[in-house]
A = this chain, B = another copy of it.
Amino acid sequence: MDTKNRIMETADKLFYFQGYQSTGINQIIAEANVAKGSLYNHFPSKRELGHAYVKQSSEEWFKGIEEELEAYSDPTQKLLAIFSFSEKYAQINHFNGCRLINILTEVTDQDDQITTMAVAHKQKFREFLYQLTTKIFTNSAQALEISDTIYLLYEAATVESKIFKNKWPIELARKNATQILAQNQIPNNK
């Protein structure tokens, strides 16, 4: 593997599992077996490496979600499949939560590009859910309310499964999302 990829892989592991602020350049170059000069050749600063990490984290996450949803054609099933992805993601990542939320919490500067990119990622996810939901509910206000509720449930599932190191929040979020979609989808034929 080439130098840049070794740096990125090590940075991803350390930024995510050890924390962005708690991880120094020295540790990254040591574990990636790269000289300090080489790192600064590819990334002019730690912040720029952070930007690359955030960009990659977002892209990989959406890639994973889209692959998971590919298996379904029904929008309701697609919407519920996000919780299956959440469970897989959590298991692979030892219940360490969302890369974007984690770094957003660590970088408190609102004007920092890391913050901007993380918020944009979440906004993109909300819109992704809304697009799926409008295929089920034609009323756009109702669709937005339902898609954002599913968004809240998904996010809570991620954060709380990290806190408790357990998948119960994901299961419960999925159950609630299922009920919400079932309640609203078919009008009561009385």
Contacts and interface: CB of A to CB of B under 8 A. Distances in A.
A17 B104 CA distance: 12
A57 interface: no
A19 B106 CA distance: 6
A105 B106 CA distance: 8
Contacts of A159: 101, 155-156, 159
Q: Which 4 A-B pairs have the closest CB atoms?
A: A156-B156, A21-B21, A152-B156, A105-B105
Interface in A79-108: 97, 101-102, 104-108
A140 B149 CA distance: 25
Chain A interface residue number, banded: 35 or more
Contacts of A172: 145, 148-149, 152
A119 interface: yes
A55 interface: no
A116 B164 CA distance: 10
A102 B104 CA distance: 10
Interface centre among A18, A102, A163, A165 (most CB of B within 10 A): A163
Interface in A98-142: 101-102, 104-108, 110, 118-119, 122
Given A106-B106, A108-B18, A160 B149 contact: no
Contact of A105 (B102, B119, B157): B102
A172 to B, nearest CB: 6
B152 A119 contact: no
A106 B160 contact: no
A176 B149 contact: yes
Contact of A22 (B17, B18, B21): B21
A108 to B, nearest CB: 5
A153 interface: yes
A50 interface: no
A173 interface: yes
